[in-house]
Amino acid sequence: MNQKKYIMATYIVLILVVGVLAAACASHIKSKSGSHFDNAGIDAFASLIANNDVQLLDVRTQAEYDVAHLTGAMLIDVKDAEFLARAKTQLDVKRPVAVYCRSGRRSAQAAGMLALVGYRVTNLEGGILAWQQAGQPTEP
């Protein structure tokens, strides 16, 4: 019975060590690939976009943008097959990009794509839904 406990304890330790190593490797690969981007809550994002040097990017559809968007945001739909090509022609890689969508999921995807090609990107956590819920301004 003691041998079974020893084997089980060894197995658990082995799983934990493999998990830690896998997480460390994944983090290292992500940072080496350049796909790192920041996430920001409402207040941090508001402070960021108050800076005139930041490029504000909405990655939703035209219909969503027409309903409400953040003032000064340019629109490039992340689901468009030409998203990255359009972004490269419309965004300056030397300037930071603040990106948002409806809930934060599509903008995180877009942020990862942009970061891979050299942009410094910050994603709005919770998207425009969280922004509006916090009472922040939008325009039609």
pLDDT digits (tens, 9 = 90+) for 41-95: 999 999 999 988 999 999 999 999 999 999 999 999 999 999 999 999 999 999 9
What contacts 136, CB < 8 A, 6 or more positions away? 42, 46
* Residue 24: pLDDT over 60: no
116 in a structural domain:
yes
Structural domain that includes position 3: 1-33
Are 51 and 84 in a shared domain? yes
Specify whether the CB–CB gap between 56 and 74 falls below 8 A: yes
Specify the amino acid at residue 48.
Answer: L
6 in a structural domain:
yes
What contacts 32, CB < 8 A, 6 or more positions away? none
Specify whether the CB–CB gap between 96 and 53 falls below 8 A: yes
Q: Could you tell me the pTM of the whole model?
A: 0.75
103 in a structural domain:
yes
